[in-house]
Each structure stands twice: as C-alpha cells, then as structure tokens.
Amino acid sequence: MTLPKVRKAVFPAAGLGTRFLPATKAQPKEMLPVVDKPLIQYGVEEARHSGIHNIIIVTGRGKASIEDHFDVSFELEHLLESKNRADMLSMVRAISDIVDVSYVRQKEALGLGHAVHRAKELVGHEPFAVVLSDDIIASQTPCIRQLLDVHEFYGASVLALMEVPKDQISAYGVVDAELVADNGRENRLFRIRNLVEKPKAADAPSNLAIIGRYVLTPEIFAAVEAIQPGSGGEIQLTDALKYMLRNRPIYGLKFEGKRFDAGDKLGFLKATVEFALNRHDLGKDFREYLRTICAQS
Ligand code: UTP
C-alpha cells in the first residue's frame, strides 16, 4: 500500500501569548520578529523546505496581521518597484508567493488539541504536519523533514522530542518510550508507550519532552473528539495522542538541531542573539558589539 504524501501543515496560532505580555496585548506572538522575520515565517519556511506547500493557519481574534503578512502588499510592491529596490521587492514577493495559505478560526483558546481539530475540514483524511511557530529550530535538515522521513517509513504519527532538565520538565508534554533499533538514527528513534501533559517533576516518566513539531495521522481528529479537557482545563493535544495510542502506534524522534522557545522571553532573547550572530550581514558587527559590552561588565 502506498502512503498518502504529507502535503499540509497546520499552524495553531490562536493562543493568547500571556508569557509575552505586554507585547502580545494587541499583536500576535507569532508576528514578533527574531532579527527581521516574524516567528511564523521561520516555521512556514521550514515546512516549505520540508516539501510542504499547503499551509493552514488557525487564528483567533487580533491575529489579522498574520493574514496581511502572507498576503500581497500592492502599495509596498509598487513603492519598491518605483524606487528600483529589486532586492527588497523579491524578498517581499517571496513571502506571498512561496506557499498556499488558508485560514480557519478558533473562536476561543480552548487548548492546542482543540486548535488542531479546527483544521479538520481543511486537512481531510490525510496525514499532516503540525508546527508551533514559537518553537524555532536551527538545523541542517529541517525538523519537519526529519519527522517526515520516519513517517514515510513507518506510516505512523511522529513527534519531535528533546531531552529537558528535570527542573523544567513540568512545562512540557512528556513521553514514556522505548528505543527502536534503527541503524540510520542511532539512539534517537523511540516507540511511545505513554504520554503525560505537564507532569510534576517527580511523576515525569522520562526526561523526553514533546516540542512543537508533529506529523499526525488523521485519526487524531476522532481522538480529540473523544477526550475531555485536561491540564489547565484545556483540550490538550497530548491527551488526544494518548487516546490514539490505544490502537495506533506513535513514534518519537530526538531531532537533530537546536530548538529555541521563542514564546518565552529568555528563549526569545537567546534566539535573537544566535540568529543575529549567524547572519552574514550582521554577525561580524554584532559579535564585536557583544565583545565590547562583555568587556565592560
Ligand atoms: P502555548 O502553550 O505557547 O500558549 O501554545 P499561548 O497561549 O500561545 O502562550 P502563553 O503560554 O499564554 O504565553 C502553543 C501554540 O498553540 C497555539 C498557540 O498560538 C501557540 O502557537 N494555541 C494554543 C492555539 O492556537 N490555541 C489554543 O487554544 C492554545
């Protein structure tokens, strides 16, 4: 049997972003720029570089600037054209040209599982990726591509995993998992036995946390419909995955790369510094500047 190709990626972007107040009072967290690019654009580019061109963004109130960002900006294009700024023009055009974007609304932030379920009609009965754009990942091979490679072999859902120190584990969904002998991915591929959302450190089944990249089979929608609100009174994606595990295998991959939690102030600052240092147009001067302030302190 040939597996359906993963063509679509769902971007839940209807959360309230309380960790980033007051910046997120009137603007979406997903539009905060790391260096000069909104968080969500990093995720969209990762999806595109993984071979996915169909983007579904789950939005809520106050998120209109996300739609404007991926739309054509006639006035800006006209202005750049008249000023002969071909470099900027092609950068601006690329944003609206690169992908096919559709939107669906989550009227109330009832949880990540609920947000993903809002995309049910647009996804249809096929496997799809989920990208949480406040996780930005720097890697050789895009993280979604790494998950797709596992999905294409096993035909099952795959979660991106990361080792997290014990004192931080209760901020994550955590898995109980057994290693799968896989020559290509030495000690990085797991078969999931159980999942717990935000456990107390003492109750965490491992130090392997789920981060914001998933490839899911469409059975996840029925699983979300079957569960009750969980941690924080929200409909949790982790709980739906646990439900789905009853009759579907789920794999976890310790991805290769570095993940920044840009939905958190410190994580956002770290991402900004590292991405700026790696920029060919800014890195040298920025490194020099950091050296001078380090020498002063
Ligand atoms: P977070 O857990 O980061 O929640 O959601 P949040 O509301 O965005 O931010 P904080 O914790 O209050 O600071 C992870 C992802 O899931 C989306 C968010 O937009 C974010 O991309 N999400 C979460 C929804 O789309 N809907 C929800 O009901 C909850």
26 pLDDT above the threshold of 80: yes
Q: Mean pLDDT across the stretch 44-64? A: 92
The percentage of residues in the chain with a pLDDT greater than 70, rounded to a whole number, is 99
Higher local confidence (pLDDT), 46 or 70: 46
183-204 mean pLDDT: 91
Q: Tell me how far the alpha carbon of residue 29 lies from the centroid of ligand 1, in angstroms.
A: 9
Between 120 and 27, where is the model more confident? 120
pLDDT reading at 1 higher than 80: no
Q: Is the CB of 12 under 6 A from ligand 1?
A: yes
Tally of structural domains, the chain: 1
226-268 residue pLDDT tens = 999 998 899 999 999 999 999 999 999 999 999 999 999 999 9
**Secondary structure tally for the chain: helices H, strands E:** 11, 13
Instruction: Express each pLDDT in 59-115 by its tens digit.
Output: 988 778 998 888 777 788 888 888 888 888 888 777 777 678 999 999 999 999 999
User: Which residue type sits at 232?
Assistant: G
pLDDT score recorded for residue 245: 97
Residue 293 falls inside a structural domain: no
Q: Is residue 2 part of a domain?
A: no
Question: Which single residue is written with the structure tokens 């999942």?
Answer: 195
φ, ψ of residue 48 to 5 degrees: the values are -65, -40
The mean of the pLDDT values for the chain is 93
Which residues, other chains included, contact 290 with Cβ-Cβ below 8 Å and sequence gap of 6+? 273, 277
Token couple for 141: 């091979």
Residues 267/261, Cβ–Cβ less than 8 Å = yes
**189-197/173-179 β-pairing:** antiparallel
Cα-to-chain-centroid distance, residue 174: 17
Q: What gap in Å lies between CA 252 and CA 190, rounded to an integer?
A: 5
| Position 128 pLDDT exceeds 70 | yes
123 pLDDT higher than 90: yes
Alpha helices in 10-63 (DSSP H): 39-49
**Would you say residue 272 lies in a domain?**
no
The answer as to whether 93 is a domain residue is yes
Which atom from ligand 1 is nearest to the alpha carbon of 16?
7
The reply to whether ligand 1 has any atom less than 6 angstroms from the CB of 112 is yes
Assess contact for 230 and 137: CB atoms under 8 A.
no
Assess if residue 111 is contained within a domain.
Answer: yes
Burial of 293 (0-12, 13-18, 19+ CB in 10 A): exposed
Q: What is the mean pLDDT of residues 189-214?
A: 95
Domain-located, residue 37: yes
* Interatomic CA distance for residues 162 and 23, integer angstroms: 28
pLDDT at 252: 97
Nearest-CA residue for atom 5 of ligand 1:
15
161 located within any domain: yes
The number of the ligand 1 atom at minimal distance from the alpha carbon of 134 is 21
Percent of the chain with pLDDT over 90: 78
Query: What's the rounded mean pLDDT across residues 161-177?
Result: 95
Identify the CATH number of the domain in which residue 198 sits: 3.90.550.10
Instruction: Please check whether residue 29 lies inside any domain of the structure.
Output: yes
- The whole-model pTM stands at 0.94
Closest CA to 191 of 249, 128, 256: 249
Q: Give the domain extent around 133.
A: 8-263
How many angstroms separate the alpha carbon of residue 13 from the centre of ligand 1?
A: 7
